[in-house]
A and B are shown apart, each in its own frame.
Chain A
Amino acid sequence: MAENNRAEGAGAISAAEASADAFAFLGKGGEIRQLIRDFDWGATPLGRVETWPGSLRTATALLLQSPVPIVMLWGEHGIMIYNDAYSGFAGKRHPQLLGSRVREGWAEIADFNDNVMKVGLSGGTLAYRDQELTLHRRGVPEQVWMNLDYSPVLDETGTPAGVIAIVVETTREVLARQRIDREHERLLQLFAQAPTFMAMLRGENHVFELVNPNYQALIGNRDVIGKPVSEALPELADQGFGDLLDEAYRSGEPVSRWSERLILVRAPETGPEERFVDFVYQPITADSGEVTHIFVQGSDVTERVIAEHRQRLLVNELNHRVKNTLASVQAITSQTLRGAMSLKEASDSINGRILALSRAHNMLTAQNWTGADLNEVLETALATHDDPDRPQLDVTFPPLRLEPHAALSLALALHELAINAAKFGALSRTEGRVQIICETAMVDDREVFRMTWREIGGPPVHAPQRRGFGSHLLERALPAELSGQVRIHHRPDGLVFELAAPLSAIREGGGLG
């Protein structure tokens, strides 16, 4: 049917009619064809359409058929003839642009087009990709990007008579690309400013593509970009991290570790360094599902791990001290009870001993168990037996700093001596006195600490019939504790207690184990 119609139509047009329609070469349809028909070409250097050379007609017909925006710039002035697609691109500049001189029609880019005309009319071509131009298509300046291809159109003599331009606007694509670039830039900034360490590794050999400043800080100032992990950080590959990366790469599953210990050699001169890190190896997959990268992220938690370790030690130490103290209380109670004549007596003795132990602990805790001064030990142990209004104690001592275990033992021993004196000895009478002499001396080239406890003015003394907690502590435990000797004389005029121990066993920082 279509063939027949066209055949009939062609047959129906007479030769006279054909010559009468000078615009037949334009073809039919579309806004721009009508505008070209109506335009007063006689007022332009092109002249009336009837006078146009074949080359101009053919080129015009050709561009009008194209769905791609095309403009032709004819003659030295570049008179503009364009298609419907181009009129859409030209915005409000259309239809004034039709038949205008290109340097005037697009006055804002006259210089650009001047160059186009010069090159084109001398037979050259031009091609621009994403060319940025500022156009006034809608009354306001507008930044646009275009792909522009210019080529000359030859006239009947083979001389360039015009320039044909294929104009494809790429503004949308360029803006989209810029947005992606900005996002990428922002991600890189986040990467750089992240509080954690980060690195991006490419491919199955884990080549460093990116590292952030925290990662760089972790590994020292080593240049790793572009190198595989095994080459950039050889010591880590040897510690199993290479295998972990392989595992994440192969499986596509993230691998994470907490408080993982690693030995770093940040620089040859610093030697190996122990660090602890929390980290995750996150495989990155392409659209195909294939792993292409591993994103490494984590934190250096060395300080935290050290603090946790210290805390564990402290808790253990505390537990140890509590258990030791319980065992001490157990020792006091079980032995006091066994030697006791009555419950009342046992209860008083136990209370007194636990309080003496507690006071000694207070004294040592106040100084963080580093030790105590001899005068503090004497005061702590004897305070409850020394009435300033009726002094019964005569104490002399040298300035001496005691090691904590010696201080504790001495305090407990003094408590036992004082309790015994208050019950049976000099402190049981108001006229009784106790002389306590502490001194250091040289004996056979060794420094010795001596303490003498001498009671005067008490009731007649008898050697005790039973040996209870007090005598065990004074005669067995104290000498063992201080690596010394103890002598107790039950003289009729008063008890005398003598202690001699190497100074090194009792002095703070003393050498003896």
Chain B
Amino acid sequence: MLVALLIEDFVLQLGCEIAGMAMRLEPALDLARTIDIDVAILDINLAGKPSLPVAEMLQGRGIPFVFASGYGAAGLDGSGLSAPVLQKPFDVGDVRRLLTAAL
């Protein structure tokens, strides 16, 4: 929850708008299915569940995304998905760099 606040803060600092925020898999899937956005930041782990279905949904809709993870890139092993990984902890510079890469 606190990490989401931090990301929100950084994203706002970069001059972006927050279109939505979800911390559980089902609300996140609902958002990914419907929301109109330029880019998403997606924690690999949503309250103990892998967020890969959300990533697949975004990929299917052609929406670029960045992963955030305490595992680093290792958290993606075997998923077949490739996206920039924002490794915790991070600063606003990291967020800018990865969002730029994703877009």
The reply to whether B28 and A513 contact each other, CB–CB distance below 8 Å, is yes
> Would you call B5 an interface residue if the criterion is a C-beta within 8 Å of the partner chain's C-beta atoms?
yes
The reply to whether B26 and A326 contact each other, CB–CB distance below 8 Å, is no
- Which of A316, A319, A323, A473 makes the CB contact (< 8 A) with B89? A323
- Which of B6, B25, B28, B87 makes the CB contact (< 8 A) with A323? B87
Q: With A483-B24, A512-B24, A513-B47 as known contacts, state yes or no: A328 contacts B71, CB within 8 Å.
A: no
Report the interface size class on chain A. 35 or more
Q: With A331-B6, A335-B9, A405-B23 as known contacts, state yes or no: A481 contacts B71, CB within 8 Å.
A: no
> Would you call A480 an interface residue if the criterion is a C-beta within 8 Å of the partner chain's C-beta atoms?
yes
CB proximity of B58 to chain A, nearest CB, Å: 16
Q: With A405-B47, A513-B28 as known contacts, state yes or no: A334 contacts B1, CB within 8 Å.
A: no
Looking at chain A's contact residues, the main secondary structure is: helix
- Give residues 453-486 of A contacting B (CB, 8 Å): 469, 472-473, 476-478, 480-481, 483
> Would you call A330 an interface residue if the criterion is a C-beta within 8 Å of the partner chain's C-beta atoms?
yes
The reply to whether B1 and A405 contact each other, CB–CB distance below 8 Å, is yes
The reply to whether B26 and A512 contact each other, CB–CB distance below 8 Å, is yes
The reply to whether A412 and B22 contact each other, CB–CB distance below 8 Å, is no
Q: Return the chain A residue nearest B75 by Cβ.
A: A320
B29 — which chain A residues lie within 8 A by C-beta? 513
The reply to whether A327 and B5 contact each other, CB–CB distance below 8 Å, is no
B contact set with A: CB distance below 8 Å: 1-6, 8-9, 21-29, 45-49, 69-71, 74-75, 87-90
Q: Which 6 A-B pairs have the closest CB atoms?
A: A513-B25, A323-B70, A513-B26, A331-B6, A320-B70, A328-B2
Additional A-B contact list (9), CB under 8 Å, known A332-B2, A476-B5? A320-B70, A327-B2, A331-B2, A331-B3, A477-B4, A477-B5, A480-B1, A480-B4, A513-B27
Question: Can you name 11 A-B residue pairings with CB atoms under 8 Å?
Answer: A324-B70, A327-B2, A327-B88, A327-B89, A331-B6, A331-B9, A472-B5, A472-B9, A477-B2, A512-B26, A512-B27
